[in-house]
């Protein structure tokens, strides 16, 4: 479960970084709609599940992944890419 949390949080952070870069580049890229679809339909479920899965770990990685998951939710809530 801890590895699943790490994978979900890493993938979501990578997505957010790519979407942020694409939104700042102001490219007219038709595939950008896929980023909006992912954020609207999939990432909202992934970011809710990942922090509790991080609690399956022991020691400092538990705190680090849980904090990364919470910060991911804050980042996701503060930007709108469409």
pLDDT at 49: 84
Q: What is the 3-state secondary structure (H, E, C) of the chain?
A: CHHHHHHHHHHHHHHHHHHHHHHHHCCCCCCHHHHHHHHHHHHHHHHHHHHHHHCCCCCHHHHHHHHHHHHHHHHHHHCCCC
Domains of the chain by residue range: 2-25+33-78
pLDDT at 10: 87
Per-residue pLDDT of the chain (82 residues; tens, 9 = 90+): 888 888 888 888 888 887 777 777 776 666 666 666 766 677 778 778 888 888 888 888 888 888 888 888 888 777 665 5
Predicted TM-score of the model (pTM) = 0.71
């Amino acid at each position: 479960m801890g590895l699943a949390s790490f994978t979900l949080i890493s993938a979501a952070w990578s997505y957010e970084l790519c979407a942020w870069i694409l939104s700042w580049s102001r490219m007219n890229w038709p595939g950008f709609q896929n980023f909006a679809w992912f954020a609207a339909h999939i990432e909202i479920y992934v970011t809710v599940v990942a922090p509790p899965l991080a609690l399956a770990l022991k020691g400092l990685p538990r705190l680090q992944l849980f904090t990364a998951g919470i910060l991911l939710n804050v980042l996701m809530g503060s930007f709108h890419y469409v």
